[in-house]
Amino acid sequence: MSLRDQAAEVLLGNWRGHNTIPAPGLYPHQWSWDSAFIAVGLRHLSSLRAQQELESLFGAQWADGRVPHIVFDPEAPRQGYFPGPEFWRSEEVNGPQHPDTSGIVQPPVHALAAWEVHASDPETSRRRSFLERLYPKLVAWHDYLRGRRDLGGRGLVSIVHPWESGMDNSPSWDAPLQRVEPVPPTEFQRRDLDHADASERPTDADYGRYVRLAATYRDHGYADGLQVHEFAVEDPVTNSLLAASEAALVRIAQELGEPAHPHEAEVARIRDALPLLLEDGLFHSYDVHGGDLVRGGSVAGLVPLVVPGLPQAQDLIATATGPRFRAEELGVVPSWDLTDPLFDPSRYWRGPAWFNITWLLQRGLDDHGAPELAQVLRTGMLTAANRSGFREYIDPRTCEGKGAHHFSWTAAVVLDLLA
């Protein structure tokens, strides 16, 4: 079977009627940023399904504009994932008619995906008023982040939980998590270890802190403020994807005959604020409580390449191809600095290469005058997928597949690269 057919089989197999799960077993519900990457791939199979993927996610948007990081599938087994609906208790905020969701968010890559989905089949999109219906929801989503999450008062969005970064156990969170008292492992039951090797997952101590932060947020009715959030970090991925998504809103607004200027201004504003996170050719996170950068070698620091007109792009490209990430040589980009003793090629976001991030970087490289390197990454991802199947992540040095099998965004990225 061709690689394209295999990728299609993964995505269609993970389809659940109006959305796609990230992978069978480990992730049995709908995840926010997964759905955005999935929609980008799915549009090559069915533009209607790609639209539905985003519509179903935004159907679970909260009244305050937040887009929850998980929308629970009532048909999936109750005990299949921890923490499930009985932990988050979203119905206490949204009422019983609203879908059950988590109460935290993930990086805002959705407007970018919505534009790509529209552009691949404008006729179906216009006939269904896809953008017309989605646009106000995307605006409300970005307003939530800008309004409620500028916890540092520096014009940048803070994430309030490592899960919000999408890079759950990145070494970047080790220091800011130190002030969080872990919930003892006897007080909750992890379900991820039923499906994945413990050596490739976050530790129990990490989980104890994840549970503490989420429970505290829930117990404050999901109110935002520094007195609620012990973990408040300005993350380069969230902020740069917000800028890239605002750039997509410029196009969406133009398509709809709405004023595009506010979105253009927003791209420029975030681009101007981002250097607060820059040091030594890489963007870093900023720990709002500690009042300092969290210095380290996360691939998150290269993701600002997605921001149009980023003045620091050439410095980032030098860092990406240098000894810390070796992008040109490897053809994929590790999630953590290869030269750092914390680099771990197997443990989730502490070293493995991920297809969604490498896909974002190849787009940014094309936009910043480095098409050859972008092409190296595209070839590298296809070679890796051919070799290891549609795994969740890979050892960046050997391309050995790790984590979940039949992973949707890996298949989606492959479909997009082959289109």
Provide Rg for the chain, Cα atoms: 20
Rule CB under 6 A: say whether 34 interacts with ligand 2M8: yes
Alpha helices in 274-324 (DSSP H): 313-321
For the CB of residue 27, give the shortest distance to ligand 2M8 in the complex, in Å. Answer: 5
Among 65, 166, 304, 380, binds ligand 2M8 (CB under 6 A): 166
| Contact by Cβ (8 Å): 238, 164 | yes
Q: Which stretch binds ligand 2M8 (CB under 6 A): 1-9, 163-171, 180-188, 373-381?
A: 163-171
Rule CB under 6 A: say whether 217 interacts with ligand 2M8: no
Binding mask 380-409 for ligand 2M8 (x = CB under 6 A): ------------------------------
> Which CB, 253 or 404, lies closer to ligand 2M8?
404
Closest CA to 412 of 13, 135, 101: 13
Rule CB under 6 A: say whether 33 interacts with ligand 2M8: yes
For the CB of residue 231, give the shortest distance to ligand 2M8 in the complex, in Å. Answer: 15
Catalytic residues: 168, 392
What lies within 8 Å, CB to CB, of 1 at 6+ separation is 9
CA angle 90, 64, 100 (to 5 degrees): 20
For the CB of residue 269, give the shortest distance to ligand 2M8 in the complex, in Å. Answer: 26
Residues 10 to 29 in contact with ligand 2M8, rule: CB under 6 A: 22, 27
Closest CA to 120 of 183, 186, 50: 50
Residues 35 to 94 in contact with ligand 2M8, rule: CB under 6 A: 69
For the chain, how are helix, strand and coil distributed in percent, rounded to 5? 50, 5, 40
Rule CB under 6 A: say whether 31 interacts with ligand 2M8: yes
Residues in the chain: 419
> Which CB, 152 or 351, lies closer to ligand 2M8?
351
> Which CB, 26 or 317, lies closer to ligand 2M8?
26
For the CB of residue 339, give the shortest distance to ligand 2M8 in the complex, in Å. Answer: 24
User: What is each CA distance from 271 to 32, 200, 246, 297, 395, in whole angstroms?
Assistant: 24, 35, 11, 21, 32
Stated as kind and residue range, the H or E segment containing 218 is: helix 204-219
> Which CB, 62 or 130, lies closer to ligand 2M8?
62
SS (H, E, C) 118-136: HHHCHHHHHHCCHHHHHHH
First to last CA, the chain: 17
| Sign of the torsion formed by the C-alpha atoms of 72, 78, 82 and 83 | positive
Size of the site for ligand 2M8 (CB under 6 A): 10
Binding mask 177-206 for ligand 2M8 (x = CB under 6 A): ---------------x--------------
Residues forming contacts to ligand 2M8 in the complex (CB under 6 A) are: 22, 27, 31, 33-34, 69, 163, 166, 168, 192
